[in-house]
Structure 1
Amino acid sequence: MSQPSALPTEVTQIDGDVRSTKLDLLSVEEPMEIRLGYGPEDGREQKSLAITMRTPGHDFELALGFLFTEGIIEGMEQIQNIVYCTDDETGELTDNVVRVELSPTLKIEWSQFERNFYTNSSCGICGKASIESLESFCPTKVSSNIKVNDAIIHGLSDKMRVKQNVFEHTGGLHGSAVFDQNGELLMMREDIGRHNAVDKIVGASLFQKMLPLESHILMLSGRCSFELMQKAILARIPIIVAIGASSSLAVNTAQEYGVTLLGFTRNNSFNIYSHPERIG
């Protein structure tokens, strides 16, 4: 199933003293609920895990990426199936509810993840607590011998921009892309939420059996926050290239976990915030 990623709307445009009516394209934003089926074969249960506001498209990748970057699953071997749910009233499939069937052997400590989801949405959580939460299910640093020269970095933004088809028409979506160490674009995903765009990348990597991404580069169309850094670390990505700024906690976490973080990346310039030895 698929919903459009952009929809037309009529707008009134003011240009100086001129008023006119025209059609414009808007990025679509819709809720998506992630439900989990879990437990033994003879006693399956269902739990509504999360609702995220997303741009439709690559929904299964989004769900899998979310489960992986939250530490709920470690690989596709823990997934039995993933489907859109059926509407209780109409009996028809709904593309805003995804059910992921987990392996009967997978044991989950639900209280741990409920605390994580609560603190991730809380304005009051401190940086130290955030990093300690990451350490609880990702205790090791990212290790990689990848080395990338400056010229490759300079060309990444243009390569990603060409593939941002919905952004080209709406100007309203974030993009995330994975490159190999030679600067070849392997995949790109867009979404209204920057965290969703990264989860789609991670989910796609799971589907394609590419994880861990220890010899790859992640590019972000905007800033790099702690949340995005955490997701990249769990995917074992050694280099993150952000077109925008980076937060202090993202930089601190990159330094601690062995990630090379670049920001303010333009065609001919960029800043390196951590582990510069991989660049040059």
Structure 2
Amino acid sequence: MSRVTARRPTLRISPAGNIQRPDTLVVEEPLEIRTGGKSLTVTMRTPGADIDLIHGFLFAEGIIGELEDIVTARYCAGTDENGQNTYNVLDVQLRHPVPITPRSFLTSSSCGLCGKTALDEVRTRTRYPLPANGISISTDTLADLPGELRSRQTLFDATGGLHGAGLFTVDGEVLVVREDVGRHNAVDKVIGWALRENLIPAHELLLMVSSRASFELVQKAVMAGIPFLGAVSAPSSLAVDLAAEADLTLVGFLRGETMNAYTGIHRLKV
């Protein structure tokens, strides 16, 4: 699939004058995830790395615990007005089918869970408690990561409309970068990639995001055993609470040589 961008007409207004021209936009399409033929959820995403996305999503939500829990993942028949497959429906066969209910997984910051309930649910679901000791990262290395992530956001260069997420070693080596119109999808894509590469639990890796650090992004990092989360923007209060509860190192406003370290400061070499 290469349906990641689309062209739309626009009127460019500027002090130099107005001009009509096509603009390149990021594609946003629904992806329905099914298990055993039954609909689980629909997420709006940028097409591409869908297999990574569903692996990361199912893992972060505690529906699977390891790569072998997914037997098959295949696109279902779904056609557009031209009779072409839309590739917007994925059916997953689980090794151990689980009952799916509306409360089977955490959804978003608007899902209605109170703070304590959300923290307790993540604590009881994660299979990989974060290591308290053993690894650290220098603030000099952290300062380089936003630029390393940004330099690999090729779709952002074309559209200016995507979030980026990347997994790095504590030495600053980039392992994978994914982009998506949804920041949670971008994170699911890199976690799904790590799961498929047998890198979970990711106890020696760092997750870097081009967005703010919401509760759901911290939740996904904790579920994957990732001890570091860096973000170019602010965290939410519940994200900081969960990071503190899980002993995750959370760094926000990571821009150049300045940053705010909220939790897990013992892992930082200042």
Quickly name the TM-score band, shorter chain normalised: over 0.9
Instruction: Return the TM-score normalized by structure 1.
Output: 0.90
Once the two structures are TM-superposed, the CA of residue 135 in structure 1 deviates from its matched residue by 2.4
Q: Is the 8 A contact 1:219 1:240 kept in 2?
A: yes
In 2, the alpha carbon distance for the partners of 1:140 and 1:65 equals: 15
* 2:224 is aligned with 1:245: no
**In the TM superposition, what whole-angstrom CA distance separates every residue of 1:96-131 from its partner, at most 9, and x where no partner exists?**
00111111xx142434xx214487474543211211
In 2, the alpha carbon distance for the partners of 1:140 and 1:63 equals: 20
Q: Is the 8 A contact 1:84 1:93 kept in 2?
A: no
Which has the larger share of helix?
Answer: 1
- Residue 28 (structure 2) aligns with: 29
Once the two structures are TM-superposed, the CA of residue 136 in structure 1 deviates from its matched residue by 3.0
Instruction: Return the TM-score normalized by structure 2.
Output: 0.93
In 1, the alpha carbon distance for the partners of 2:45 and 2:35 equals: 18
- Residue 168 (structure 2) aligns with: 179
Amino acid at match of 2:46: T
- Residue 136 (structure 1) aligns with: 124
- Residue 42 (structure 2) aligns with: 51
In 1, the alpha carbon distance for the partners of 2:190 and 2:106 equals: 24
In 1, the alpha carbon distance for the partners of 2:218 and 2:212 equals: 11
Alignment of 1:146-185 (within 5 A): 146-185=135-174
Structure 2: runs of 5+ lacking an equivalent: none
**Match for residue 229 of structure 1 among 195, 207, 218:** 218
Once the two structures are TM-superposed, the CA of residue 35 in structure 1 deviates from its matched residue by 0.8
> 3-state SS of the aligned residue for 1:177?
strand
Amino acid at match of 1:133: E
Using a 3 Å threshold, how does the CA distance of structure 1 residues 266 and 141 change in structure 2: closer, same or farther? same
**Match for residue 76 of structure 2 among 85, 102, 108:** 85
- Residue 11 (structure 2) aligns with: 12
- Residue 90 (structure 2) aligns with: 98
In 2, the alpha carbon distance for the partners of 1:55 and 1:204 equals: 16
Using a 3 Å threshold, how does the CA distance of structure 1 residues 184 and 62 change in structure 2: closer, same or farther? same
Using a 3 Å threshold, how does the CA distance of structure 1 residues 79 and 128 change in structure 2: closer, same or farther? same
In 1, the alpha carbon distance for the partners of 2:259 and 2:179 equals: 23
> 3-state SS of the aligned residue for 2:62?
coil
Amino acid at match of 2:74: V
In 1, the alpha carbon distance for the partners of 2:203 and 2:104 equals: 26
Using a 3 Å threshold, how does the CA distance of structure 1 residues 173 and 119 change in structure 2: closer, same or farther? closer
Using a 3 Å threshold, how does the CA distance of structure 1 residues 261 and 121 change in structure 2: closer, same or farther? closer
In 2, the alpha carbon distance for the partners of 1:21 and 1:197 equals: 32
Amino acid at match of 1:98: L
Amino acid at match of 1:74: G
Percent of aligned pairs with the same residue? 41
In 1, the alpha carbon distance for the partners of 2:100 and 2:266 equals: 40
Structure 1: runs of 5+ lacking an equivalent: 38-45
- Residue 72 (structure 1) aligns with: 63
